[in-house]
């Protein structure tokens, strides 16, 4: 089946597990018309007389007047609800929990695509949805019972961001509320009817500050990002709010899956033919996957390719290909988990007779690195990268090329991990930047004289990029000079700035917002 597109009417797939009511026929009395609702009294519970979005009345198949009909819940919507609820209740990551939920519920094809769209779309638009729901409900969303709140978010997303008919979005959401928040169906029905009374542009024009009065607040509400992140993007882009707007729009788009054809193991053109994809725009190893589940691809199963954003490929390849005098056989990845960059570096090392030492402090992530680099000349160390000089396996002045893919806020990958924009806080920055400086200082000590260090973050925040690099180089206790990173990226690649560091952007390059600094130890 082809991928589901917003606006297609869903099929009648229904939950058959504990959420269904097997003793009552499903969906036998869909009362109400197809008109788009407007108005509605906030918080009032309507009489159960078959109003739009509520179900009551006779059982027409069974001929038992007055028996209330309890329809089962639409399964793709319920799967999306489970994923969104897990993100908010358990601090789960959607990209980890949703595939498991889809497998458990047996959802494939268009049903799986619909559930995926609802999950990721709702998480991306969460800030704006909550602002609108607060106005529609007449109370702050924080005061709404969490299960009902998440169901309303899913319903509002369907109403405002898809072509699902309004009556279907409301009635299916009320069904969901009936399952997860008994007693709140009237409230949910009234709130969603209020939401449906205006489109998203009208709502944001009504609720967002004006661009003239508060440009950061306007962009935050209109494009569903926290204000502190919008401000950080504006700082990194030199205050160009037009470019900030394009970035925020791109952050809210569903990104394509990027694959990396491992050099020496698979030609990118062959991978593109194998998966029906297209070669990447910039990385020599990138292939854009048109759709489907990448985990099902044979090339990934047998280790000839892996999933990796093109920006990550570019920064790893830049370190591996930057000119280097002298010995070039000892490579180090100081923060290797979960193993994507280590996999690419390991494949490149195999072609050049080099060996990679991959360091990871987390035991679980160290195992992932081992899996990702199986069959490659990679030795995985489960230790803290800051122990350079104290650990005999991490001697100072020893390695020719060193990668520091530092832990960061992840603000550069918000399009792929939409829940991160709501989970991260400015208070996360001080401990992260301290760790980044310590790791980069350790990397500079680990590099031999003349060796290269690549500092990478998936964040454009200037405190995590320019400030960290400058401070770490100053405090490392060893001399280091910047290398112009633009010279080791593909010729003609646009929007790379003035150097010597490079910041990639989703709206400029179609990649995550990866930052790269190259330093040569003196």
Has 458 been annotated as catalytic?
yes
**Residue 384 annotated as lining a ligand binding site:** yes
**Terminal Cα-to-Cα distance of the chain (whole angstroms):** 58
Q: Are 258 and 280 contacting, i.e. CB atoms less than 8 angstroms apart?
A: yes
Q: What is the pLDDT of residues 491-519, one digit of tens each?
A: 989 999 999 999 999 999 999 999 999 99
Looking at the predicted structure, is the pLDDT value of residue 253 above 90? yes
d(CA 237, CA 503): 10
- Per-residue pLDDT band for 250 (boundaries 50, 70, 90) equals very high
- Per-residue pLDDT band for 475 (boundaries 50, 70, 90) equals confident
Looking at the predicted structure, is the pLDDT value of residue 182 above 90? no
Q: What is the pLDDT of residues 138-149, one digit of tens each?
A: 999 999 999 999
**In this predicted structure, which of 52-56, 300-304, 366-370 has the lowest mean pLDDT?**
52-56
Looking at the predicted structure, is the pLDDT value of residue 451 above 90? yes
Kindly provide the residue ranges of all beta strands, DSSP E only, lying in 168-239, ordered along the sequence: none
Query: Could you give phi then psi for residue 234, rounded to 5 degrees?
Result: -60, -40
Q: Residue 82 burial by CB count (10 A; 0-12/13-18/19+): exposed, middle or buried? A: buried
Active-site position among 458, 473, 480, 513: 458
**Residue 337 annotated as lining a ligand binding site:** yes
**Residue 510 annotated as lining a ligand binding site:** no
Mean pLDDT of the chain: 88
Domain edges within the chain: 75-202, 209-251, 253-307, 309-521
**In this predicted structure, which of 49-58, 277-286, 360-369 has the lowest mean pLDDT?**
49-58
The DSSP symbol for 501 reads S
Looking at the predicted structure, is the pLDDT value of residue 32 above 80? no
Query: CA 467 → CA 437, 514, 519, distances in Å?
Result: 9, 15, 15
Looking at the predicted structure, is the pLDDT value of residue 194 above 70? yes
Picking from 355, 286, 345, the residue whose alpha carbon sits closest to that of residue 321 is 345
Superfamily of domain 75-202: NusB-like (1.10.940.10)
**Residue 138 annotated as lining a ligand binding site:** no
Tell the CATH topology of 309-521. Rossmann fold (3.40.50)
**Residue 32 annotated as lining a ligand binding site:** no
Architecture of the domain spanning 253-307: 2-Layer Sandwich (3.30)
**Residue 338 annotated as lining a ligand binding site:** yes
- Per-residue pLDDT band for 33 (boundaries 50, 70, 90) equals very low
- Per-residue pLDDT band for 72 (boundaries 50, 70, 90) equals low
pTM: 0.85
Picking from 192, 198, 202, 204, the residue whose alpha carbon sits closest to that of residue 42 is 192
pLDDT of residue 290: 82
pLDDT of residue 143: 96
**Residue 272 annotated as lining a ligand binding site:** no
Q: What is the pLDDT of residues 110-148, one digit of tens each?
A: 999 999 999 999 999 999 999 999 999 999 999 999 999
Picking from 391, 387, 295, 400, the residue whose alpha carbon sits closest to that of residue 356 is 400
Strand partners, 243: none
Looking at the predicted structure, is the pLDDT value of residue 455 above 80? yes
**Residue 329 annotated as lining a ligand binding site:** no
Looking at the predicted structure, is the pLDDT value of residue 58 above 80? no
pLDDT of residue 177: 96
């Amino acid at each position: 089946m082809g991928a589901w597109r917003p606006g297609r009417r869903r099929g009648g797939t229904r939950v058959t597990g504990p959420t269904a009511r097997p003793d009552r026929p499903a969906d036998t009395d869909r009362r109400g018309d197809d008109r788009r609702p407007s108005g509605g009294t906030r918080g009032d519970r309507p009489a159960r007389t078959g109003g739009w979005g509520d179900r009551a009345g006779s059982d027409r198949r069974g001929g038992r007047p007055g028996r209330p009909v309890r329809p089962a819940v639409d399964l793709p919507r319920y799967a999306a609800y489970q994923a969104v609820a897990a993100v908010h209740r358990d601090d789960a990551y959607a990209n980890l929990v949703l595939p498991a939920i889809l497998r458990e519920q047996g959802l494939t094809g268009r049903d799986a695509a619909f559930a995926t769209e609802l999950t990721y779309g709702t998480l991306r638009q969460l800030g704006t949805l909550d602002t609108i729901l607060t106005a529609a409900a007449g109370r702050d969303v924080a005061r709404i019972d969490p299960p009902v709140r998440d169901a309303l978010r899913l319903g509002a997303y369907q109403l405002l961001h898809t072509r699902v008919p309004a009556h279907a979005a409301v009635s299916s959401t009320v069904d969901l509320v009936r399952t997860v928040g008994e007693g709140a169906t009237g409230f949910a029905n009234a709130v969603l009817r209020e939401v449906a009374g205006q489109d998203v542009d009208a709502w944001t024009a009504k609720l967002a500050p004006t661009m003239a009065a508060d440009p950061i607040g306007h962009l935050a509400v209109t494009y569903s990002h926290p204000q502190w992140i919008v401000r950080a993007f504006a700082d990194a882009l030199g205050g160009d709010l037009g470019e900030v707007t394009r970035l925020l729009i791109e952050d809210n788009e569903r990104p394509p899956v990027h694959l990396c054809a491992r050099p020496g193991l698979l030609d990118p053109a062959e991978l593109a033919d194998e998966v029906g994809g297209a070669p990447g725009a910039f990385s020599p190893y990138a292939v854009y996957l048109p759709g489907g589940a990448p985990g099902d691809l044979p090339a990934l199963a047998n280790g000839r390719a892996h999933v990796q954003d093109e920006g990550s490929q570019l920064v790893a390849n830049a370190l591996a290909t930057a000119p280097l005098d002298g010995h070039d056989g000892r490579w180090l990845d100081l923060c290797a988990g979960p193993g994507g960059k280590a996999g690419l570096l390991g494949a490149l090392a195999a072609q050049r007779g080099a060996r990679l030492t991959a360091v990871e402090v987390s035991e679980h992530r160290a195992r992932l690195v081992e899996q990702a680099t199986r069959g490659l000349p990679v030795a995985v160390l489960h230790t803290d990268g800051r122990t350079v000089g104290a650990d005999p396996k991490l001697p100072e002045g020893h390695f020719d090329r060193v990668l520091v893919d530092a832990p960061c806020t992840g603000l550069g990958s918000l399009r792929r991990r939409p829940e991160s924009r709501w989970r991260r806080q400015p208070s996360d920055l001080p401990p992260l930047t301290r760790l980044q400086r310590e790791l980069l200082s350790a990397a500079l000590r680990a590099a031999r004289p003349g060796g290269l260090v690549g500092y990478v973050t998936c964040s454009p925040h200037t405190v995590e990029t320019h400030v960290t690099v400058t401070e770490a180089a100053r405090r490392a206790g060893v001399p280091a000079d910047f290398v112009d990173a633009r010279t080791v990226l593909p010729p003609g690649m646009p929007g790379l700035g003035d150097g010597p560091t490079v910041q990639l952007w989703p709206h400029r390059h179609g990649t995550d917002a990866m930052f790269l600094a190259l330093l040569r130890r003196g």
